[in-house]
């Protein structure tokens, strides 16, 4: 069984939803980023999305855009991102890692080489935000063959017809983008999210994770009460930014502050009561 | 493999060979499909075509003349040179051709707001113009760096009622303006239409913008037949994203005897790290909704383009151009900042026409090729824009104070 399926099953047995965190690989530098990554499971992250930095993240808001630019400036690259996953796997065999980003760095690395190296490093899933179902076969087929899930995204603009396209070929889980917009922007209401999750779950047996606009333990908790997973990205990435001095170097205690904040978010998710029949 | 026609692309998913396509976030996909469906309906609707034709004539001032550049021809002493005078269009460049077409589509789709990205400001001005004409709200995204470099166009857009939003993300230039326009679009999908400024972006934009720009080539065909009784031997156009080049070339693609030269901006030279020649110096990748050739490093990170001409200063090119390049149908060559600057000055002095620095790249190639060609060899240059906007840049490059 894949790490993702195993994780969702284990949490189901516990009767709670998953807490998913996002950070950008190499932000603000390789060592600090690896320290955060290694600390995330202990701070309560059930699944980790690791951003592959790209110069032109056109689906992301300012927080994650700046994180990508910081990572690149500090020498971030696909090679380093995969190396980071490999180092993480030395101590952690169970926390799923989903690489998230844009297609060009993957394509430039070479799809076959990427799939081979990602598999070897211990990557479990991919979210490529500018690779819609119409274009994803060239990556999805070899990735799936290697046991890596390619996560599909559903959005508030997905009508029933579109949802059919999105779910056909989906694996791992479905990522519901809760608002039409970029990361770190507006928040959706819990009612809207609950309705959307219900609509998606009527058409698939895959778990549904919800992200975009979730930035407090309370919000994470309410989303966790109506979905299989709540994803927090920009708010965590902003904590990294807040922990840097004017030159962009990590101030003392930055890593601990990021992990403390993560712990609070995780508590929000873990204290949430799943609504009957939601998950 | 030889093709029956070079004019049948793209396929139904928007691919020109393996280029093009639709590489946008899932939130935008339903909208991108809707734009395509509405566009296909619109171009079969006589009312839509009638309004487009009317505006082309009385608002843009079409057809633009085909002009025999007699003194330049004499000066170079070889081929006979014609200019397709797109610089005489309303707003001073070919950009208005696709801005009018797209704003009519936006209106037809019931959108109340348009957005655009701009580098030099020409596409921004064209978009602000048509938005004013149709009473639509307009936001133009422009890199903070470009806003400093192009103050007159920024003020023009403001006069036309547009909001010019400074872009500070990434490197704060044209590619980042396009990123921010995409970010705005995804946030305002319900009321906003994105008027893209070149033959790039997700399908149907490369096809749609090409179709609106093809009026340049269709007119040129008729005009050269009237003037010379035959088709030209060579067509020349500058290429950044490639909208004016495809507009001139497309109606001639199946005329095997017509040679085509698309001139990329070589900046300080294509062997330096300061150029904007995506075909000569780039390789395949995915950015801004399409697969195409991009300036990028080994890791797939996008590299900033450089050209003296802000309108060519983009690290990518339209996907149909890449396909035409790989098919060998169009010759992709390049001209440096210095060559463009010389061509700019020569055109001013021999023809009394101040060309845009973009179009001066095309002219630079003609200066290289024309002298060795026979006098009955006919070349048509797409004089895609006027150079009034460039006088400050040129003065600075020549070390003169205005």
Q: Could you report the per-residue pLDDT of B17-29, keeping only the tens digit for each? A: 999 999 999 999 9
**Interstrand relation of B80-85 and B66-68 (parallel, antiparallel or unpaired):** antiparallel
Give B240-267 pLDDT, tens digit per residue. 999 999 999 999 999 999 999 999 999 9
pTM of the model: 0.97
Mean pLDDT of chain B: 96
Domain extent, residue A210, equals 3-270
Asked if the structure places residue A38 within a domain, the reply is yes
Q: Assign 3-state DSSP to chain B and report helix, strand, coil percentages, each to 5.
A: 50, 20, 30
Establish if A276 belongs to a structural domain: no
Closest by Cβ to A104, choosing from B25, B183, B300:
B300
Provide the pLDDT confidence category of residue B293 given band limits of 50, 70 and 90. Answer: very high
Q: Establish if A279 belongs to a structural domain.
A: no
Strand A174-177 versus strand B289-294 pairing type: unpaired
CATH code, domain carrying A30: 3.20.20.70
- β-pairing, B331-336 with B192-194? unpaired
Please give the average per-residue pLDDT across B156-170, as a whole number. Answer: 95
In a domain, A155, yes or no: yes
For B23, counting Cβ atoms within 10 Å of its Cβ (0-12 exposed, 13-18 middle, 19+ buried), the class is: buried
Active site residue B95: yes
Q: Which of B22, B30, B182 sits opposite A58 (nearest CB)?
A: B182
Inter-chain CB proximity A108 and B187 less than 8 Å: no
Q: Check B286 against A132: CB less than 8 A apart.
A: no
Q: With beta carbons less than 8 A apart as the criterion, state whether B203 and B22 touch.
A: yes
How many CB atoms within 10 Å of residue A63? 22
Q: Residue A275 domain-assigned? A: no
Domains of chain B: residue spans and CATH: 15-56+94-204 (3.40.50.1100), 63-92+210-397 (3.40.50.1100)
- Whether A81 is in a domain gets the answer yes
Residue of A nearest to B173 (CA): A56
Note the ipTM here: 0.96
> Is residue B117 flagged as an active site residue?
yes
Closest of A140, A138, A161 to residue A152, by C-alpha = A140
Catalytic residue chosen out of the listed positions A27, A46, A60, A228: A60
Please tell me which residue in B84, B95, B107, B111 is annotated as part of the active site.
B95
A242 catalytic, yes or no?
Answer: no
| Among B179, B186, B284, beta carbon nearest to A181 | B186
**Can you tell me the distance from the alpha carbon of B265 to that of B389, in angstroms, rounded to the nearest whole number?**
18
CA B71, CA B346: separation in Å to the nearest integer?
Answer: 10
Average pLDDT over residues B299-308: 95
Q: How many CB atoms lie within 10 A of CB B217?
A: 23
Structure confidence at residue B2 (pLDDT): 59
Contact B165, B135 (CB under 8 A): no
Q: Is the pLDDT of residue B400 over 90?
A: yes
pLDDT at B87 over 90: yes
Residue B1 pLDDT more than 70? Answer: no
pLDDT at B73: 98
Return phi, psi of residue B229, to 5°: 75, 10
Question: Residues of B at the A interface (Cβ-Cβ below 8 Å)?
Answer: 13, 21-31, 169-170, 175-176, 178-179, 182-183, 186-187, 189-190, 284-289, 294, 296, 298-302
Q: Following DSSP, what letter does each residue of B338-399 receive, concatenated?
A: HHHHHHHHHHHHHHS--B-HHHHHHHHHHHHHGGGS-TT-EEEEEE-BBSGGGHHHHHHHTT
Q: What is the pLDDT of residues A148-167, one digit of tens each?
A: 999 999 999 999 999 999 99
Residues of B in contact with A58 (CB under 8 A): 25, 178-179, 182-183, 288
Residue B146: predicted pLDDT = 86
**Reported confidence tier of residue B383, pLDDT bands at 50, 70, 90:** very high
Strand order in the sheet with B259-267: B66-68, B80-85, B378-383, B234-239, B259-267, B331-336
Cβ contact, residue pair B23, A103, below 8 Å: yes
User: Does A132 contact B24 at a Cβ distance shorter than 8 Å?
Assistant: yes
Average predicted confidence (pLDDT) for chain A: 97
More confident residue, A39 or B148: A39
| pLDDT tens profile A46-102 | 999 999 999 999 999 999 999 999 999 999 999 999 999 999 999 999 999 999 999
Residue B169 has pLDDT above 90, yes or no: no
Residue A77 lies in a domain: yes
User: pLDDT (tens digit, 9 = 90+) per residue, A14-25?
Assistant: 999 999 999 999
- Mean pLDDT, range B321-332, rounded to an integer: 98
- Interchain CB distance below 8 Å, A103 and B13: no
Considering CB atoms only, which of A60, A72, A131 is closest to B23?
A131
Distance CA A55, CA B139 (A): 24
Is A167 inside a domain boundary? Answer: yes
- What is the reported pLDDT for B217? 98
| Rounded to 5°, angle at Cα A64 from B191 and A110 | 100
Q: In the 3-class helix/strand/coil scheme, how is B89-155 assigned residue by residue?
A: CHHHECHHHHHHHHHHHHHHCCCCEEEEEECCCHHHHHHHHHHHHHCCEEEEEEEHHHHHHCHHHHH
Say how far apart CA A47 and CA A56 lie, in whole Å.
25
Taking only the tens place, the pLDDT of each residue in A184-227 is 999 999 999 999 999 999 999 999 999 999 999 999 999 999 99
Structural domain total, chain A: 1
**Tokens 């499971």 sit on residue:** A41
For chains A and B, CB pairs below 8 A equal 119
């Amino acid at each position: 069984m894949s790490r993702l399926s195993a994780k969702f099953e284990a949490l189901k047995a516990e009767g709670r939803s998953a807490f998913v965190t996002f950070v950008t690989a190499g932000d603000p530098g390789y060592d600090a980023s690896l320290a955060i990554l290694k600390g995330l499971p202990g701070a309560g992250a059930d699944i980790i999305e690791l951003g592959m930095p790209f110069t032109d993240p056109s689906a992301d808001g300012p927080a994650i855009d700046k994180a990508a630019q910081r990572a690149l400036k500090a020498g971030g690259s696909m090679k380093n991102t995969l190396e980071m996953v490999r180092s993480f796997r030395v101590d952690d065999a169970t926390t799923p890692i989903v690489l998230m980003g844009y297609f060009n760095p993957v394509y430039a690395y070479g799809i076959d080489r990427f799939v081979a190296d990602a598999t070897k490093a211990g990557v479990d899933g991919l979210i490529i935000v500018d690779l819609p179902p119409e274009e994803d076969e060239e990556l999805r087929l070899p990735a799936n063959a290697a046991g890596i899930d390619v996560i599909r995204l559903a959005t508030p603009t997905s009508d029933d017809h579109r949802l059919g396209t999105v779910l056909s070929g989906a694996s791992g889980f479905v990522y519901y983008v809760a608002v039409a917009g970029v990361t770190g922007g507006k928040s959706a209401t819990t009612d809207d999210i609950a309705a959307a999750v219900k609509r998606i779950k009527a058409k698939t047996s895959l778990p549904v994770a919800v992200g975009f606009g979730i930035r407090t333990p309370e919000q994470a908790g309410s989303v966790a009460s109506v979905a299989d997973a709540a994803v927090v990205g920009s708010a965590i990435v902003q904590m990294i930014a807040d922990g840097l001095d004017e030159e962009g170097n990590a101030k003392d205690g930055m890593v601990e502050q990021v992990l403390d904040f993560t712990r609070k978010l995780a508590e929000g998710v873990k204290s949430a009561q799943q609504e009957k029949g939601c998950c | 493999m030889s093709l029956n026609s070079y004019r049948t692309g793209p396929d139904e998913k928007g691919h020109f060979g393996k280029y093009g396509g639709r590489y946008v976030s899932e939130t935008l996909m339903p909208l991108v499909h809707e734009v395509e469906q509405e566009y296909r309906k619109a171009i079969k609707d006589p009312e839509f075509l009638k309004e487009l034709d009317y505006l082309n004539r009385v608002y843009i001032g079409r057809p633009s003349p085909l002009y025999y550049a007699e003194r330049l021809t004499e000066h170079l002493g070889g081929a006979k040179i014609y200019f397709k005078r797109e610089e005489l269009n309303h707003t001073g460049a070919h950009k208005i051709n696709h801005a009018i077409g797209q704003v009519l589509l936006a209106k037809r789709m019931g959108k109340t707001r348009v957005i655009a990205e701009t580098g030099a400001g020409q596409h921004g001005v064209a978009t602000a113009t048509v938005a004013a004409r149709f009473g639509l709200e307009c936001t133009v995204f422009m890199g903070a760096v470009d806003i400093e470099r192009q103050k007159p166009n920024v003020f023009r857009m403001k006069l036309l009622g547009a909001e010019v939003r400074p872009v500070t993300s990434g490197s704060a230039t044209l590619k980042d303006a396009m990123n921010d326009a995409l970010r705005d679009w995804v946030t305002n999908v319900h009321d906003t239409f994105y008027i893209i400024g070149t033959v790039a972006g997700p399908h149907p934009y490369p096809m749609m913008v090409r179709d609106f720009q093809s009026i340049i080539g269709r007119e040129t065909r008729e005009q050269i037949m009237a003037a010379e009784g035959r088709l030209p031997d060579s067509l020349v156009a500058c290429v950044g994203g490639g909208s004016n080049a495809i507009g001139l070339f497309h109606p001639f693609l199946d005329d095997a005897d017509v040679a085509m030269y698309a001139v990329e901006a070589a900046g300080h030279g294509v062997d330096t790290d300061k150029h904007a020649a995506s075909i000569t110096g780039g390789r395949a990748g995915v950015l801004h909704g399409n697969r195409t050739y991009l300036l990028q490093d080994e890791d797939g990170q996008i590299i900033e383009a450089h050209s003296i001409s802000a309108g060519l200063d983009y690290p990518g090119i339209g996907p149909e151009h890449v396909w035409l390049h790989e098919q060998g149908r169009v010759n992709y060559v390049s001209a440096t900042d210095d060559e463009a600057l010389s061509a700019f000055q020569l055109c001013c002095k021999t023809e009394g026409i101040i060309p845009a620095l973009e179009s001066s790249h095309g002219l630079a190639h003609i200066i290289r090729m024309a002298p060795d060609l026979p006098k009955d060899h006919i070349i048509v240059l797409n004089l895609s824009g006027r150079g009034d906007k460039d006088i400050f840049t040129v003065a600075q490059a020549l070390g003169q104070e205005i």
